[in-house]
Each structure stands twice: as C-alpha cells, then as structure tokens.
Amino acid sequence: MKNIIIYGIVFLASINAALAQNPSEIPLDQEWKDKITKLAPEKANFPFKKKKKILVFSLHTGFWHWVNPHTSAMIEILGEKSGAFDVTTSTDIAMMQKDKLKEFDAVVFNNTNSKPQYRNLFVDKISEDTSLDSLTVWTEANKLEDNIIEYVKKGGGILIVHGGNTMLNNSMAFSKLTGGSFDYHTKQQAFQVRIEDPSHPLTKSLPVEGYNHVDEPYFYKNAYEESDFHPLTYFNNAEIEGQKKGQEKTSGKTYVSWIRKEGKGRAMYISTSHNAQSFENASILAYFLDALQYVVGDVKVDETPIGK
C-alpha cells in the first residue's frame, strides 16, 4: 500500500513536471492581443526620424509552430503602439524578389521552418509546381537566397526568430549571413537566459540577471563555430538537460541571441520563443522592440564580432 502511494505521488509529480515543461497552445484572440498591447512599451527606446517598414515573412514548409501567428501579431502590436514601424505580413515567396525586398527597411523571418529533406524553404515551395525540373527549382531558389544576402549587404536588416534559422539550413552563405545554422534543440525546459553584456544598448530592456522561461534551448553548427557575431544573450551549457548523446556540453555557454553587421546592413538572431506565453512579459516585448529598431537601422550599437 505504501509503495502504491509513493508510486502515485511520483506519477502525479511527473505529470505536473511535464505540464510545466510544455506550455499549452493558447488562441490568438482579442483577449491575448489586448494583454500584449498592455504590456508592450508605450514608446520606442531609440529615437527615430521616420517610421520604418517591416515585412514579417511567415511561410513554413516544415515544422508548424503554433506561435507563428502570435509572433506576427506581437510585432504588429509593437509597431502600432510605439509608432516606430508599419508591418506587412506575407507567406508569398514573391516578396523575396529584389524589387519587393527594397520596399522594406527590415524583414523578419518568423519560424520559417523548412522540410528536413533539403532544408531549403524556397526549394520546398517552388517544387510544389511539379512541372518544373530540379535545375529550374534550385536556380530559382538560389536566386531568392542571393536576393536576401544582397539586400542585407546594401543596407537592409533581417531578424530571424526561433525556427526561422532552418529556412536555408544547409547553405553556408546563409549561415555566414545569420551567424550560424540550426543543429538541434533539446526538449522544452525552464532555463535561465543570461545577459552577455548588460551595458549593451540592446540588452538594457532585459533584467541584469536575465530571465527564466520555458523554451527550447537551441544548439548550432556551420558558421556558428566562427563566432562572427556580437552576442547579446546566452545559457550555460551545464544547465541544459537532454543534450544530444555524444555532443553533451558540460561547460561553456551557447548564445541565445546575437547581432552581426554585413556590408551596410544588419542581421540579428533570437533563438527563443517556441511559445506565445514568452511574449507575456514586458521586458521581453521591449527587447523585441529594441531588436526591431536595430535591424531597421534606428540605432547604432557595438557589433564587434567575438571571433575576430
């Protein structure tokens, strides 16, 4: 009997732990938007002369993130409330044509997850037209990728959010542009996101001790090894459970967000947020607004890469 009670307690405790680890899906309704609007900053931290234009690109061909529409809505709310930018949302790859891209000061790649086979969002999408041969598909896809790289070099900004880094995950050129490719993530867990440099203008909205929340800790590969970026936040590897066998890191840190200069433009990556609940936090919303102001070019900050 005693054992049954103990097993029962252990079982219930593990259910509670599982529930705590995976926040449930919440609807994108007016109530949620009102909550985010209330928590969003009244005004932008960095002064701006003119209202900017941001494209939130949310096409996915691979893993569907339920947070995808919430992320778009959150960015729209930040723009509306602060008056810093107008948002256009799209899932149309035609928006990656040169003449379309140049209409925007920055592009957000919102959980633009590709399929595992090629890890190329554009190949996935273009090949839906089965009349096209593979050479045509890849030529078109590479053109769109080149357009993005050229757009940044000429002065555009890109912000890649969470799974967005998988969109062209096997391309070294895209990896260099964004600072690193996706390797894997562990199960969701509560972990501490820490601040690399609390004096950096882009981390000022976050608490100095960082923040603890439930998310997927991301690990990276390809260009990440070169550390050709300026990191903003990180986690301690030793604190992350469930790391890939044979790749366990018991010391050091993995970056959660960073920025990098490319030509006249800017790229930023933020590996959080798998859940919309992450946005129900005034300092995280302010951090996103700061990030968006950085990619549109409203603020000049230290972008010195740590790897060089």
State the residues that interact with Zn ion by CB under 5 A: 216, 274
* Burial group, residue 119, by CB count within 10 angstroms (0-12, 13-18, 19+): buried
Minimum distance from residue 121 beta carbon to Zn ion (Å): 16
> Using CA atoms, how far apart are residues 187 and 165, in angstroms rounded to an integer?
18
Minimum distance from residue 275 beta carbon to Zn ion (Å): 8
The residue number whose beta carbon is nearest to Zn ion equals 274
For Zn ion, the closer CB: 165 or 293: 165
> Using CA atoms, how far apart are residues 134 and 114, in angstroms rounded to an integer?
17
Contact 231, 195 (CB under 8 A): no
> Using CA atoms, how far apart are residues 60 and 167, in angstroms rounded to an integer?
8
For Zn ion, the closer CB: 194 or 274: 274
Q: Which tokens belong to 214?
A: 């439930």
Minimum distance from residue 216 beta carbon to Zn ion (Å): 5
Q: Distance between the two ends of the chain, CA-based, in angstroms? A: 64
Contact 241, 220 (CB under 8 A): no
Minimum distance from residue 112 beta carbon to Zn ion (Å): 12
Torsion angle, alpha carbons of 237, 165, 271, 91, to 10: -160
For Zn ion, the closer CB: 7 or 63: 63
175: nearest Cα among 185, 186, 189, 160: 160
Minimum distance from residue 181 beta carbon to Zn ion (Å): 15
For Zn ion, the closer CB: 45 or 271: 271
For Zn ion, the closer CB: 45 or 178: 178
Q: Which tokens belong to 139?
A: 């030529």
For Zn ion, the closer CB: 82 or 110: 110
For Zn ion, the closer CB: 216 or 280: 216
Cβ contacts of residue 272 below 8 Å, gap of 6+?
Answer: 162, 193, 213, 215, 256, 257, 278
* Per-residue buried b or exposed e for 57-83, using 16+ beta carbons within 10 Å of the residue's own CB: bbbbbbeebebbbbbbbbbbbbbebbe
Minimum distance from residue 115 beta carbon to Zn ion (Å): 15
Minimum distance from residue 82 beta carbon to Zn ion (Å): 27
Q: In this structure, how many other beta carbons lie within 10 angstroms of the beta carbon of residue 170?
A: 13
Minimum distance from residue 88 beta carbon to Zn ion (Å): 24
For Zn ion, the closer CB: 213 or 274: 274
